[in-house]
């Protein structure tokens, strides 16, 4: 809310919308209504000349008489022109004069009536204004002048309770009995209430014992409430005193008048903290509270303040209070809302308040780089057509500076914003002219810089264009009985025609761009509206120039622009009304336009001090000239980031500010700049860097005091350390004690207790004691703890153990936490064997045991908790006797990981040392990083070393080994329970040890191990490549444990930039067999690589070296650059080719086969470098060894190719591929033997790999089907085809890369199937071609014959038919089995035997040679297994 008081005439002005914005229109409407009312009332007034005739009747009569007179005059003139008489003219004139007088009288009376009504209305309005002003001036909350007085009376007596109260408006009083409302209507005979002249009385009739009570009266009005109370005691007529009724103090004790039932205790529960918002957002500040007592009739008043200015409900802020909560809502945040917000709960008993800062950041600019919006737009010095608008500039920390501002105006009720200034105004103040009188306006401002225009500011409060002097020109006259009459000065000044000149013309404001002139209106000024004209003259010019020639000025002030810089001017003002213009006013003193306010100087020394974990207090020296300052802007920057951020977005007026929203543990610097209406000062010098940490304070209070043991004369107590040490280490503790029911505390120790356990001696057995403990640090002694419960000093003898103590919760995560405790001081009758951990949610009653079996450790990780729930914990020790006393219940713990929670991490430093590290941003100078193993603090300096610097701490392992495995933990004191743990298992330990070993014993990483390569001259190069080598690196080559140096034989070189080390051996011989090693050292890093060349490995290198040497020597003369090779052309020729090099004209080239020269038709051109030998049709006769020779005086070279074996087969395969591409489709050729399938090719050789198949079955060459071919054809002969031979036939030739197929379907080829091929006589089989038999044996020749019709069978011997007899027998069974039997063969039976099988289609002849040898002779050798081949007999041939 604005801190500038608004003029009362602006507060009472109603800001109409556009329907009623024109004040002149309202005046016309009011005047019209007044005239209508006057015309109605004038009928009741009696006219002096016409009796009771009204003005309206007079006018009508006048018109009628005039009309009749004219008609009569015309008639008479027409009838008697010659008789015009003076008498009629006089008569007409007298009547007309009387009519005019009557009309004038009626008008005069109507005006007097309207004036009386206007004065009466003005008086009523002024009285209402004054009455309201008086009411405001006397308004106050109820105040009790005379309080109630306590009474003691006997039964049956009446008592009157009275008090006096004042306040305005008149307070309403209610009476209460023991806080219950008294209603007289419920018991009119008992109670009667009176109120008169501020005195209020409660009459209690015939009081009895039940009327003894506390009575109170509460007075309330809109401004507050007040109360008073008293006690009434009714006594009975008895000898003994009656006991005091409940709630009544003994009558002999004085009653305190300080007891006030309006005192309400307000305790804030949930408070709003420091809040950050952004312009345009909605935001609510809430604060819940506990009100005691919570009475509906007696409630505190909630008041919100921003920078100590009361906030009320408005368009931008909404207030709420109820149901134990107070809230302030912002509907649309602006930087105007930034500030310190305070909630005050006001009661008669006092004020409870809470404050926190609200920061409002700039909204994102509409144009990148544009400044933020201005703020705090206010209107001043409003008049009929003029107002001054002021604002505050935005902070431009990261944007370019503001070069000016645009001011916009808008009439209330409209949405049409109009820009008031054409060029940006450079200062934060601008006089807006050209307003319309009576209209209401709102204003806004936009900032401009080199990047663009900002968002508009929040609009100002509405302001009306009214003249405040108008109200000053009224005078109030008080008459009797409180009545008063208000008279305007216009009524007293009389009729003024031309006004006088204005007075007191002066410059109320001077700037570099304009001058604001002010003056007093002329006195008297008259009733007519005034306007003013302003004239200026440059000093020394002698001429005057009217400034506002086009626009009349109605206000007694005006802003003059367009003044020359550095020139002086004088001014004068003229007043005018409808009658004329006054004389000029007196001339002002010379005025020179210049800025009276200059840019402020930079603030002085800036000092930053610690405040909280997220804030810093910044203080600075005020600038030398601090007049007219709007305030200061504070910027901050992280050290070394060189990036500044604004802290506040609205200027503050004090030289001390708390910068919030900083990161704990980070270092910041600060700077300040002052700002006024002209602009910003230079930035102050930067403050010294400061680390964000909490300020040093006394420690907080210890808690959890527990009795750990008692022997009847002493007690051992334990407690928990304070949660916060106050930023300084806790030095120790002080303990006080007192016996129960004693008021005074007694000091237990005079010197500090350094531990959280202490034994108090010299106690009285069976007495009860309570204790409290306070912690002390460097700052001082903190608040003591709450008193412990009453402990009885009685010796403990139970067999079970005592309670564990010092329960600590750490490592709180989303579903788990770790609980630590210390062992009981009292163990019982046997040693402690373990512990049970119990927990429960805060709002439940049932405890849950976390571990089924007691744990022997003094820590336990509780898991499977619910995130966001709150738990409490306790621990019970166990021994052989049972479960002991439970520990103190821990404080409630919210199971939820804090944002930004960090964990311990492991690593190895540059020296190879293994460490565990932890970082805590919340750590302060007083924080202690406590490292532990198995949650026991580490104090073994032989195995561990701890280094802590700032908010980082590291635990180093000095001599790591397997004993270091386990759980390591850390806790940071003076923080909000920051802690973590790390499990060092075998895998992690091995990883760290490996990394440590690599760092302590660094190895130069190699890109390539030691390798070799044989160079073209037969040299052997040994080389190795590292990832990188520094110029200072060293190396050496060792061969068979002997270092070699750089020499002609061993050329050693190192390329440090590429990390390559090499050694070249000029001649590699049989003596170089062995082990080769390279050793490298670069700083501490070392590495080596070895290569073993022994046995076959060495022989391979030696052979390759010799080969390369020979190749090098060979290439010194004519030589083959490419040796003999073969290829197959598209014409199926085999081409032997080679390439030659280093030839000359004298070089001779020759071809050889198997040592014999080959004559070629054309001598190859050696200059082309290629030589060819063509073999047209390759066959077996072309096999052999082919050689090509080169020779001249420099030497000779030979290239050989053995064209046989696999090489020959590969060439045939290549020929098959080329020929297969040219294969034609299969064709049919009918022959005498049957059908021949043919495929024509470019070249065919029987050695080519081909395949014939029938119905996907491979065909083998035989009598039935024969496979063959020629130079350009491959064929398949099907002898005597039958129906079975129908189907698909496929020819496939296999090349070196793929195969080629040709297919033919013989199904349905009946045209090629003839009877002479199928039905002729045939010898199917059974006869051999040679038979050898010993004489005396019986020879049987049997075969199967076939023919359709049945063939004729004839046997022949030596091509001659013979007759059958006993020696020769012939048979034909079933028409198909023919046989010849020779009984007792002799040598004469040797010879050729033939069988002829023939029918009408032809037949076959089969010859069998019979050889007979004598008994005792060696049987002649024959080829077994061969059958006789048939010869065909044509149908025409005779047998």
* Predicted confidence (pLDDT) per residue in 1126-1171, tens digit: 998 888 889 999 999 988 888 889 999 888 888 887 788 888 888 9
The rounded distance, in Å, linking the Cα atoms of 655 and 817 is 46
What number is the average pLDDT over the span 65-87? 61
pLDDT band at 1433 (very low <50, low <70, confident <90, very high): confident
Please report the beta strands in 1317-1376, taking only residues with DSSP state E, as ranges in sequence order. 1322-1325, 1330-1334, 1339-1346, 1352-1357, 1360-1361, 1368-1373
pLDDT of residue 592: 87
Query: In what side-by-side order are the strands of the sheet with 275-278?
Result: 275-278, 350-361, 339-347, 301-306, 309-310
pLDDT of residue 479: 61
The rounded distance, in Å, linking the Cα atoms of 480 and 116 is 19
pLDDT of residue 922: 80
pLDDT at residue 224 tops 90: no
**Per-residue pLDDT reduced to its tens digit, 1163-1172:** 888 888 889 8
What number is the average pLDDT over the span 752-770? 92
More confident residue, 116 or 1025: 1025
**Per-residue pLDDT reduced to its tens digit, 722-750:** 888 887 888 999 999 999 888 889 999 98
Angle at 141 between CA 136 and CA 143, to 5 degrees: 130
What number is the average pLDDT over the span 693-719? 90
For residues 262 and 347, is the Cβ–Cβ distance under 8 A? yes
**Per-residue pLDDT reduced to its tens digit, 792-815:** 999 999 999 999 998 989 999 999
CA distances from 585 to 620, 809, 1026 (A): 50, 87, 101
What number is the average pLDDT over the span 826-851? 92
pLDDT band at 220 (very low <50, low <70, confident <90, very high): confident
Handedness of CA 506, 508, 510, 511 (dihedral sign): negative
pLDDT of residue 30: 53
Please tell me whether residue 1431 adopts helix, strand or coil conformation.
strand
CA distances from 1270 to 1218, 1224, 1239, 1247, 1275 (A): 17, 15, 10, 12, 8
Q: Which residues pair with 161 in a beta bridge?
A: 202
Task: Out of 490-499, 532-541, 988-997, 1368-1377, pick the least confident.
Answer: 490-499
What number is the average pLDDT over the span 1072-1083? 90
Among the listed residues 333, 377, 376, the one whose alpha carbon sits nearest the alpha carbon of residue 358:
333
pLDDT at residue 525 tops 80: no
More confident residue, 280 or 597: 280
**Per-residue pLDDT reduced to its tens digit, 48-60:** 433 333 344 445 5
The rounded distance, in Å, linking the Cα atoms of 515 and 508 is 8
Task: Out of 132-146, 360-374, 1386-1400, pick the least confident.
Answer: 132-146
What number is the average pLDDT over the span 68-75? 64
What number is the average pLDDT over the span 1209-1219? 88
**Per-residue pLDDT reduced to its tens digit, 1265-1289:** 888 888 889 988 888 787 788 888 8
Task: Out of 37-41, 816-820, 1254-1258, pick the least confident.
Answer: 37-41
pLDDT at residue 770 tops 60: yes
Neighbours of 34 (CB within 10 A): 18
pLDDT of residue 778: 84
Q: Which helix (H) or strand (E) holds 1139?
A: strand 1134-1141
Q: Alpha carbon 929 to chain centroid distance?
A: 33
pLDDT of residue 246: 36
For residues 1120 and 1188, is the Cβ–Cβ distance under 8 A? yes
pLDDT of residue 718: 93
Query: What is this structure's pTM?
Result: 0.47
For residues 241 and 628, is the Cβ–Cβ distance under 8 A? no
Q: What is the mean pLDDT of the chain?
A: 83
Angle at 1369 between CA 1368 and CA 1373, to 5 degrees: 155
Among the listed residues 842, 845, 931, the one whose alpha carbon sits nearest the alpha carbon of residue 895:
842
For residues 307 and 430, is the Cβ–Cβ distance under 8 A? no
More confident residue, 258 or 758: 758
pLDDT band at 973 (very low <50, low <70, confident <90, very high): confident
pLDDT at residue 32 tops 50: no
**Per-residue pLDDT reduced to its tens digit, 987-997:** 999 999 988 88
pLDDT at residue 1397 tops 60: yes
pLDDT of residue 485: 67
pLDDT at residue 269 tops 50: yes
pLDDT of residue 1317: 62
Residue 1042 CB partners (closer than 8 Å, separation 6+):
none
Percent of the chain with pLDDT strictly greater than 70: 87
**Per-residue pLDDT reduced to its tens digit, 314-350:** 889 999 998 889 999 999 999 999 999 999 988 776 7
pLDDT of residue 917: 94
More confident residue, 107 or 342: 342
**Per-residue pLDDT reduced to its tens digit, 458-485:** 999 999 888 777 666 666 666 655 666 6
**Per-residue pLDDT reduced to its tens digit, 1290-1347:** 998 888 888 888 898 887 655 455 565 667 888 877 788 888 888 888 888 888 888 8
pLDDT of residue 882: 92
More confident residue, 960 or 184: 960
pLDDT of residue 375: 93
């Amino acid at each position: 809310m604005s801190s500038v008081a608004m003029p009362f005439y602006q507060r009472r002005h109603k800001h109409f919308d556009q329907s009623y914005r024109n004040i002149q229109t309202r005046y016309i409407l009011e005047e019209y209504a007044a005239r209508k009312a006057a015309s109605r009332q004038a009928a009741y007034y009696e006219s002096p000349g016409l009796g009771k005739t009204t003005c309206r009747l007079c006018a009508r009569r006048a018109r009628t008489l005039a009309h009749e007179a004219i008609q009569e005059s015309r008639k008479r003139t027409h009838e008697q022109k010659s008789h015009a008489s003076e008498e009629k003219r006089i008569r007409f004139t007298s009547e007309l004069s009387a009519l005019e007088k009557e009309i004038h009288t009626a008008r005069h009376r109507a005006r007097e009536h309207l004036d009386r009504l206007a004065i009466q209305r003005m008086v009523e309005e002024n009285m209402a204004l004054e009455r309201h002003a008086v009411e405001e001036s006397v308004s106050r909350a109820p105040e009790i002048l005379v309080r109630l007085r306590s009474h003691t009376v006997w039964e049956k007596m009446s008592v009157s309770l009275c008090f006096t109260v004042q306040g305005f408006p008149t307070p309403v009083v209610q009476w209460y009995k023991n806080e219950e409302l008294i209603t007289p209507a419920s018991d009119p005979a008992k109670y009667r209430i009176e109120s008169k002249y501020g005195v209020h009385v409660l009459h209690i009739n015939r009081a009895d014992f039940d009327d003894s009570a506390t009575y109170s009266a509460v007075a309330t009005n809109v401004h507050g409430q007040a109360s008073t109370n008293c006690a009434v005691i009714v006594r009975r007529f008895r000898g003994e005193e009656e006991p005091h009724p409940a709630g009544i103090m003994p009558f002999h004790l004085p009653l305190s008048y300080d007891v006030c039932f309006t005192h309400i205790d307000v305790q804030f529960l949930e408070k709003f903290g420091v809040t950050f918002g952004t312009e345009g957002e909605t935001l609510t500040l809430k604060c819940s509270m506990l009100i005691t007592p919570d009475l509906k009739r007696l409630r505190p008043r909630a008041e919100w303040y921003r920078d100590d200015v009361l906030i009320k409900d408005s368009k931008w802020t909404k207030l709420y209070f109820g149901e134990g909560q107070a809230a302030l809502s912002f509907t649309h945040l602006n930087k105007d809302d930034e500030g310190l917000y305070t909630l005050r709960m006001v009661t008669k008993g006092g004020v409870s308040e809470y404050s926190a800062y609200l920061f409002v950041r700039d909204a994102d600019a509409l144009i990148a780089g544009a400044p933020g919006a201005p703020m705090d737009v206010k209107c001043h010095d409003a008049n009929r057509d003029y107002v001054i608008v002021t604002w505050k500039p935005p902070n431009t920390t990261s944007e370019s500076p503001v070069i000016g501002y645009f001011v916009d105006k808008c009439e209330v009720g409209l949405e049409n914003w109009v820009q008031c200034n054409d060029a940006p105004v450079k200062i934060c103040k601008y006089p807006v002219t050209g307003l319309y009188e009576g209209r209401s306006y709102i204003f806004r401002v936009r900032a401009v810089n080199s990047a663009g225009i900002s968002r508009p500011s929040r609009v100002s409060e509405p302001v009306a264009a009214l003249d405040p002097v108008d109200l000053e020109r009224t005078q109030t006259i008080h008459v009797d009985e409180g009545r008063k009459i208000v008279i305007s000065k216009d009524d007293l000044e009389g009729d003024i025609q031309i006004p006088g000149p204005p007075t007191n013309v002066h410059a109320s404001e001077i700037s570099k761009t304009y001058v604001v002139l002010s003056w007093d209106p002329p006195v008297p000024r008259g009733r007519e509206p005034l306007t003013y004209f302003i004239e200026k003259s440059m000093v020394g010019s002698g001429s005057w120039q009217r400034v506002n020639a086009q626009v009349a000025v109605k206000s007694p002030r005006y802003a003059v622009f367009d003044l020359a810089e550095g020139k002086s001017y004088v001014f004068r003002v003229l007043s005018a009304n409808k009658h004329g213009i006054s004389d000029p006013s007196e001339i002002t003193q010379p005025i020179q336009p210049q800025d009276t306010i200059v840019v402020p100087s930079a603030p002085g020394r800036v000092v930053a001090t610690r405040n909280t974990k997220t804030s810093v207090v910044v203080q600075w020296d005020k600038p030398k000239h601090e007049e007219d300052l709007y305030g200061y802007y504070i910027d901050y920057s992280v050290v070394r980031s060189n990036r500044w951020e604004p802290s506040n977005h609205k200027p503050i007026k004090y030289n001390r500010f708390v910068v919030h929203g900083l990161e704990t543990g980070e270092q910041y610097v600060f700077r300040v700049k002052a700002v006024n209406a002209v602009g910003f000062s230079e930035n102050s010098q930067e403050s010294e860097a400061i680390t964000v940490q909490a300020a040093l304070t006394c420690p907080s209070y210890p808690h959890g005091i527990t009795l750990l043991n008692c022997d009847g004369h002493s007690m051992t107590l334990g407690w928990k350390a304070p949660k916060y040490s106050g930023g300084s280490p806790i030095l120790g503790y002080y303990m006080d004690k007192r016996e129960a029911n004693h008021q005074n505390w007694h000091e237990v120790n005079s010197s500090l207790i350094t531990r959280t356990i202490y034994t108090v001696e010299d106690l009285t057995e069976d007495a009860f004691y309570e204790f409290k403990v306070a912690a002390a640090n460097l700052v001082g002694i903190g608040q003591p703890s709450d008193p412990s419960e009453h402990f009885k000093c009685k010796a403990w003898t139970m067999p079970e153990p005592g309670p564990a103590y010092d329960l600590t919760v750490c490592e709180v995560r989303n579903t788990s936490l770790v609980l630590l405790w210390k062992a009981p001081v009292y163990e019982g009758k046997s040693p402690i064997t373990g512990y049970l951990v119990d927990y429960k949610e805060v709002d439940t009653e049932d405890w849950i045991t976390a571990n089924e079996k007691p744990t022997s450790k003094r820590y336990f990780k509780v898991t499977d908790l619910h995130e966001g729930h709150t738990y409490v914990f306790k621990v019970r020790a166990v021994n052989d006797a049972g479960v002991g006393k439970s520990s103190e219940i821990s404080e409630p713990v919210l199971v939820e990981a804090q944002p930004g929670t960090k964990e311990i991490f492991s690593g190895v430093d540059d020296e190879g040392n293994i460490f565990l590290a932890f970082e805590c941003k919340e750590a302060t100078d007083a924080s202690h990083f406590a490292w532990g193993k198995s949650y026991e603090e580490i104090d073994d300096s032989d195995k561990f070393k701890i280094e802590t610097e700032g908010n980082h701490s590291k635990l180093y392992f000095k001599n790591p080994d397997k004993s270091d495995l386990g759980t390591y933990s850390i806790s940071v004191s003076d923080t909000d329970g920051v802690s973590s743990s790390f499990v060092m298992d075998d895998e992690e330990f091995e990883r760290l040890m490996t990394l440590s070993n690599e760092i302590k014993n660094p190895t130069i990483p190699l890109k390539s191990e030691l390798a070799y390569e044989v160079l073209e001259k037969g040299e052997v190069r040994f080389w190795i490549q590292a990832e990188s080598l520094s110029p200072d690196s060293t190396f050496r080559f060792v061969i068979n444990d002997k270092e070699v140096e750089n020499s002609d034989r061993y050329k050693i070189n190192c390329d440090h930039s590429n990390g390559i080390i090499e050694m070249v051996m000029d001649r590699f011989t049989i003596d170089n067999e062995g082990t080769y090693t390279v050793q490298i050292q670069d700083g501490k890093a070392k590495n080596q690589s070895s290569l073993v060349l022994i046995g076959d490995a060495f022989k391979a290198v030696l052979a390759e070296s010799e080969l390369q040497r020979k190749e090098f020597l060979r290439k010194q003369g004519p030589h083959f650059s490419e040796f003999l090779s073969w290829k197959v052309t598209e014409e199926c020729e085999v081409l032997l080719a080679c390439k030659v090099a280093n030839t000359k004209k004298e070089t001779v080239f020759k071809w050889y086969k198997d040592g014999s020269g080959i004559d070629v038709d054309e001598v190859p051109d050696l200059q082309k470098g290629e030589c060819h030998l063509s073999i047209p049709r390759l066959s077996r006769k072309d096999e052999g060894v082919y050689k090509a020779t080169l020779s001249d005086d420099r030497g000779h070279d030979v290239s050989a190719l053995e064209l046989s074996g696999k090489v020959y087969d590969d060439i045939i395969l290549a020929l098959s591929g080329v020929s297969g591409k040219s294969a034609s489709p299969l064709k049919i050729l009918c022959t005498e033997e049957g059908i021949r399938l043919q495929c024509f090719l470019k070249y065919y050789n029987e050695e080519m790999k081909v395949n014939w198949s029938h119905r996907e079955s491979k065909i083998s060459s035989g009598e039935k089907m024969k496979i063959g071919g020629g130079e350009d054809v491959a064929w398949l002969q099907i002898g005597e085809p039958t129906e079975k031979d129908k189907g698909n036939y496929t020819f496939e030739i296999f090349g070196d890369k793929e195969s080629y197929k040709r297919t033919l379907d013989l199904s349905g080829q009946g045209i090629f199937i003839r009877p002479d091929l199928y039905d002729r006589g045939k010898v199917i089989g059974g006869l051999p071609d040679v038979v050898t038999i010993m004489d005396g044996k019986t020879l049987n020749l049997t075969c199967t014959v076939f023919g359709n019709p049945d063939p004729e069978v004839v046997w022949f011997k030596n091509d001659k038919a013979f007759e059958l007899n006993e020696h020769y027998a012939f048979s034909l069974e079933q028409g198909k089995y023919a046989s010849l039997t020779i009984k007792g063969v002799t040598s004469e039976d040797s010879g050729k035997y033939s069988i002829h099988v023939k029918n009408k289609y032809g037949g076959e002849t089969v010859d069998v040679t019979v050889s007979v040898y004598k008994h005792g002779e060696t049987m002649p050798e024959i080829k077994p297994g061969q059958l006789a081949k048939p010869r065909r007999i044509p149908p025409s041939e005779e047998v």
